[in-house]
Amino acid sequence: MIKNLLEITKNSKFWSSQSRSFSGSSAWNIATVAIALLVAIPIFTVISNVFVSSGDIWSHLASTVLPLYVMNSFWLMIGVGTGVFLIGVGTAWLVTMCSFPGSKQFQWLLILPMAVPAYLLAYTYTDFLAFTGPVQDTLRMLTGWGYGDYWFPDIRSLGGAILLMSLVFFPYVYLLTRAAFLEQSSSLLEAGRSLGASSTKSFFQIALPLARPSIAAGMALALMETLNDFGTVDYFGVQTFTTGIYRTWFGLGERVAAAQLSAFLMIFILILILLERWSRNKMDTRQSGTGRYKQLALYKLSGWKAWGSTLFCSIPVVFGFIVPVLILAEMMISNFDAAVDTRFLQFSLNTITVAVIAGFVALLVALILAYGTRLRPNLLTKSATKIGSMGYAIPGSVIAVGILIPFGWADNAVDSWARETLGFSTGLLLSGTIFALIFAYVVRFLAVAFNTVEASLGKITSNMDEAAQGMGYSFLKTLRKVHIPMMSGSLFAAIMLVVVDVIKELPATLIVRPFNFDTLAVQVYRLASDERLAESSGAALAIVLVGLIPVIILSRSIAKSRKTDREST
């Protein structure tokens, strides 16, 4: 089939006259816009509630806790932003441009912390560094100190949250920055070397300015995840917007006020997006030099510089992945019966069920949006698709509020009609159901699937569409017979990435999940909150192991990127 299509595409003169006619069905275009707007309902809901009066509750929040939410969220962003920048950019430069012991292995090892959710790091290190934990026990054994004889830092603090989030979110910056370093023109760096520039000078004066857009994009992703975090800040007692939204909804029962807090949080997200776009637009792409890639000799580090680089790259891997995994493994082995029981199996089944369903639904929606944009790439379709796929930039707590408000309204309307007309109550048909939970996941992670599908679809030349039309294929048959088989690998990757993200998602799950329906993430959160971390170790370790799937995908992607001298030596 593919060979026949390739043969037909050779008649370019014939197909060039037909290319404009194959734009797809207007019905598909309408469906694309409708689905995109449907997925964007939570965002519109949150924004619309800004103009709804919440009585005295908003003034109460504004005068008591809102300033604290703003300040803690602000300092959390500043601290995590600084941490991910230093770790991500520093390690990316070292493994890409320098040669030192272990440099080749660190190319993929530095991605491992991405598999560990921040809240798991918070739970494990709290137990590890507690007064009765192994660290302080060893310290007292070696020194003979007792209680009150020494000072030990409290990990359950704003500073502790910043440190742990930096350890798990820096891979966002590392991956994009390393890709930018690999893509930079070697002629600029060679010119710097010919002028006697050292590796440090080349980094600050040439490579870093050129990589600024990628660094900004990575930091924006890391900070969005920071604002989305609930488990870490809640466990550490740091009051941020995510904890405030949860408590306003469930503690005070004020949905409108929770939506208004969500809208306030979206301002932070909007600022991040605008700063990232500003950084990208300020960058003069002509400086990057997109000429043919040429291998560049690595900076050979020796002595303390070499081993210092090894130590610098080891710290985030050891403390961001190896130590917490070993702690969880030891807990699970020591408390196997409690960690892996019948409830664990039920929670695993719940998690896998909603994750797989959400993965397939997200893939289907992403395929409709991406293919609709390909068929009719007009302003309406592109704008609707952009709006529909921006859920990844919105914290899960905000999406949850934006879903439950309209779903709750619809449930009440249907129930009132049924009571008056049919004489019975319909109960909750949408809110508080699996449907609402899966919808929240699709809104939250649609961008992950959409970006993967769109990138894969973009690699298929339009000549293939024209050839299929010449063979009498409809646009649906072209998608089914031509595009989907060619994109099968990317479609599988899209599903797996969504599945993994769903398994790790906590704030949206906590708010939207049906009654008596818990996932692994919720179980870990509940047990850890009750100081029963050992019992949650099985579920926590399962989340980490599943989180390794995108790490493997990313590692393989890096392995296929353009080679440096390290691969050829």
Which residue type sits at 495? Answer: I
Instruction: Report the C-alpha gap between 279 and 273 in whole angstroms.
Output: 10
User: For residue 210, which amino acid is it?
Assistant: L
Cut 0.85: pTM above it:
no
Cβ-contact 464, 9 below 8 angstroms: yes
* Confidence (pLDDT) at 477: 75
**Residue from 194, 207, 216 nearest 93 by CA:** 207
In a domain, 132, yes or no: yes
Q: Are 152 and 136 in contact (CB under 8 A)?
A: yes
Mean pLDDT per 10-residue segment, the chain (569 residues): 40 38 60 82 84 77 87 94 94 87 89 90 90 87 84 90 94 85 62 60 68 82 88 91 87 82 85 76 50 60 88 95 92 81 84 92 88 77 78 83 88 86 81 89 87 77 72 72 77 83 89 88 87 85 86 68 44
Which CATH number do you get for residue 181? 1.10.3720.10
Among 347, 391, 385, smallest CA distance to 367 is for 385
Residue 197's Cβ-count burial label (10 Å; 0-12, 13-18, 19+) is middle
pLDDT of residue 22: 43
**Residue at 545 is within a domain:** no
d(CA 241, CA 395): 10
The total domain count for the chain is 1
CB atoms closer than 10 angstroms to residue 321: 24
Spatial separation of the C-alpha atoms in residues 230 and 238, rounded to whole Å? 10
Strand-pairing partners, residue 98, are 299
Query: Which residue has 């006020």 as its token pair?
Result: 257
Residue ranges of alpha helices (H) inside 212-341 are 212-228, 231-236, 241-246, 255-282, 303-317, 323-334, 336-339
Copy the structure tokens of residue 76.
Answer: 């959390």
| Residue 273 located in a structural domain | no
Q: Are strands 299-300 and 98-99 parallel, antiparallel or unpaired?
A: parallel
**In the chain, how long is the greatest CA-to-CA distance?**
88
3-state secondary structure of 299: strand
Of 92, 94, 116, 234, the residue nearest 169 (C-alpha)? 116
Asked, for residue 157, whether it belongs to a domain, the answer is yes
Residue 214 lies in a domain: yes
Domain that holds residue 167: 71-238
Angle between helices 41-48 and 26-39 (to 10 degrees): 50
User: Does 385 fall in a domain?
Assistant: no
8 A C-beta contact, residue 222 and residue 172: yes
**Residue 435 maps to a domain:** no
Enumerate residues 6+ apart whose C-beta is below 8 A from 466: 9, 15, 18, 19, 22
CA 183/CA 176 separation, integer angstroms:
11
> What is the spatial distance between Cα 538 and Cα 548, in angstroms, rounded to a whole number?
16
For residues 550 and 559, what is the distance between their CA atoms, to the nearest angstrom? 14
> Is 339 contained in some domain?
no
φ, ψ of residue 99 to 5 degrees: the values are: -115, 120
Q: Mapping DSSP to helix (H, G, I), strand (E, B) and coil, where does residue 300 land?
A: strand
CA distance 128 to 528: 13
**Phi and psi at residue 238, to the nearest 5°:** -95, 115
Q: Which residue type sits at 221?
A: L
